[in-house]
Amino acid sequence: METRKLILIIIFSTSLLFLWDSWQKEIYPPASQVMPGAVSSTADQRHDPLPVPGDELTFTTAESGAASRVEGISPSVTPNLFTIGEKIHVQTDMVIAEIDTAGGDIRQLGLVLYPSREDINKPYELLLDKTARFQVSQSGLIGDGLPNHKTKYSAESDKYRLEPGQDKIVVRLKAPEENGIQVTKLYTFHRGSYVIDVGFEITNHSESTIIPFSYFQMLRDANEPAGAGALVHSYTGPAMYTDSEKFLKIKFSDLDKGKAEYPTNDDNGWIAMLEHYFLTAWLPAPHTPREFFAKRLAPNQYTAGVIVPVGAIEPDQVQNISVPFYAGPQEQDKLAELAPGLELTVDYGWLTVLAKPLFWLLSFYHSWTGNWGVAIILLTVTVKLIFFPLSAAGYRSMAKLRVVTPKLQRIREQYASDRQRMHQVMMEFYKEEKINPMGGCLPILVQIPVFIALFWTLMAAVELRYAPLALWITDMSVPDPYYVLPVIMGISMWVQSKLSPTPTDPIQAKVMQIMPFAFSIFFFFFPAGLVLYSLCNNVLSIAQQWQITRMYENKAESDANKDKNNKKGKGKPDPASEKPLLTATKETDTAEADTTAAINTEQEVKQSPSVSTKSKASPKAKSGATARKTRKK
């Protein structure tokens, strides 16, 4: 009994701590929080996004295997971090973007359909160039005199808006012509899409052939986005995918140490920057050579990107190069359509194999009901039905233990000074009653991975962000603002503890009394969607456990009454009171029988005078009496 309770305590405690801390262990150690304005321009050359001028980058094409010598560019490390030029504002039905003519970077990008945590009336800023937190999209060309992310561009207009009937917006930025090379940078925004095509139109007016390379990178700090959870943290940092290596994360901590390992040259794959619910990613076309890079520029300043060859451009020829840039939410189904493996950025941890079907089922219920809260309730019922037989087996074992708890307590009291003998008698008692003391643990162990997978599913689902349930719960991805669900959750845990067998050990009994309140405190900080699932699961468990417990208690009471009536009819004591003690009781019964026999013997001795007188009559007297009886006849 004690072992079983101890295991249950360890299981629940470990599970909760895992749910609370597992995401934190997945991410990097805290990076140095140095403000961008304090960044030194003397960063180590190994941390440059691309080789500095004079250095050379070797790039091997997948087609020929020949190495091309490519001149690099200097990193974007300046005292003010970003050069400021003219702002170009772009608005579509999905994003609001701001492009700076200094470098032609996307400096700000807000997601129209996803409000900010700080101000619900403003879109969430996925890209921004603020001092406290920054992430920008940069691109350019590698080659002598070719424009990069430091070049001053000129624009045709400073405002672009997707009007009704339009399918896309094209923003054209012109770089100054140099060495007879004219370059125009193109941004194409599409209706109903978070994909922005970023490209270059290169016109060779010179008399020689040029072989430029293009680069596309994301520059950001290691700070978590505003509104990140206080207890639960998701991974923030670079990630990439190739067919050979599959999905992998490039942690900021590894970049700090210079120990990051990832594939560089390939003809497929993408590279991204991840944060909770959202990502930015460069998605080069398949079957084209590319080189990935991820580097630390300076304290709390990192870059990740890809280099793509443009190809040879003969004199008087025009060449175009374009790479799609995704900046939006981690919508699993839509990401899978954009690039192979991009849906893996919705990170469910090591239980992805369970989390994916759970999310599919959750999405199915949402498509049916139109409410993510109702979908969570239906998902909970479905999971509970799947595990109904296992749960029933566990609750039956617990109900049996609850019925015989008084008898177990008597055994503990009788053998308090001999623990070895106590455990021996308990095992014999369990065997006699056909009770497996560990029977309630296995069903719980089996369900724990599913619970953890559900936790990751609900935590990673951007669909729950600002998804309402009803009444005061308008966002199931954040804690209940009035803590109503956590309080009800704590009450349900207390009720469930009352249905469980009371531990015979006083210390364990106190721990079991405190656990519902301790656990409910953690739920005060968990997202409302997760608390809703846990509450529904508890309510269903209470109903099932109460029904099974009542059935066993009624059966035990009925059997006890039958045995009592039968024994009363035969004038014999009720053996039910003797049965629990088994061997020990049998020994006591033997001792009592010996005592009773001794008392009877003593009473016979006291009555011995009259008996002995009769027994000492002479043989003659006996024969005379016999003769008289014969004559009378």
User: Does residue 55 surpass a pLDDT of 60?
Assistant: no
User: Does residue 362 surpass a pLDDT of 80?
Assistant: yes
**pLDDT tens digit sequence for 549-580:** 676 656 656 666 666 666 665 555 544 444 44
> In the predicted model, what is the mean pLDDT of the chain?
75
User: Does residue 293 surpass a pLDDT of 80?
Assistant: yes
β-sheet bridge partners, residue 295: 303
Residue whose pair of structure tokens reads 């801390």 in the numeric block = 21
| Cα 533 from Cα 380, distance rounded (Å) | 6
Neighbours of 292 (CB within 10 A): 22
Question: At residue 51, what is the residue type?
Answer: P
Question: For the chain, what is the radius of gyration of the CA atoms?
Answer: 40
Mean predicted confidence (pLDDT) in 72-94:
70
Element (H, E) at 173: strand 168-174
Mean predicted confidence (pLDDT) in 103-118:
92
Mean predicted confidence (pLDDT) in 93-98:
96
Element (H, E) at 131: none
Burial 542-567 (b: 16+ CB within 10 A, else e): bebbbebbeebeeebeeeeeeeeeee
Exposed/middle/buried for 519, CB within 10 Å: 0-12, 13-18, 19+?
A: middle
pLDDT bin (cut points 50, 70, 90) of residue 447 is confident
Contact 370, 426 (CB under 8 A): no
Contact 274, 237 (CB under 8 A): yes
Domain ranges of the chain: 45-331, 358-557
**57 versus 220: which is more confidently predicted?**
220
pLDDT recorded at residue 628: 47
**121 versus 73: which is more confidently predicted?**
121
Contact 325, 281 (CB under 8 A): yes
pLDDT recorded at residue 553: 57
pLDDT recorded at residue 310: 95
pLDDT recorded at residue 47: 33
Question: At residue 525, what is the residue type?
Answer: F
Pairing mode, if any, of strands 246-249 and 278-282? unpaired
| Three-class SS state of 436 | coil
Q: Which CATH architecture has domain 45-331?
A: Distorted Sandwich (2.70)
pLDDT recorded at residue 328: 96
| Cα 294 from Cα 280, distance rounded (Å) | 14
**190 versus 370: which is more confidently predicted?**
190
Hey, which of 75-89, 125-139, 302-316, 388-402 has the most confident mean pLDDT? Answer: 302-316
Contact 456, 489 (CB under 8 A): no
pLDDT recorded at residue 61: 33
Contact 325, 243 (CB under 8 A): no
Q: How far apart are the first and last CA of the chain?
A: 77
User: Does residue 308 surpass a pLDDT of 80?
Assistant: yes
**537 versus 599: which is more confidently predicted?**
537
pLDDT recorded at residue 56: 36
| Cα 581 from Cα 411, distance rounded (Å) | 7
Which 8-state DSSP code applies to residue 350? G
β-sheet bridge partners, residue 291: 265, 307
pLDDT bin (cut points 50, 70, 90) of residue 354 is confident
pLDDT recorded at residue 72: 37
Exposed/middle/buried for 119, CB within 10 Å: 0-12, 13-18, 19+?
A: exposed
pLDDT bin (cut points 50, 70, 90) of residue 238 is very high
Question: At residue 302, what is the residue type?
Answer: Y
Measure the CA dihedral 605/607/612/617, to 10°. -170
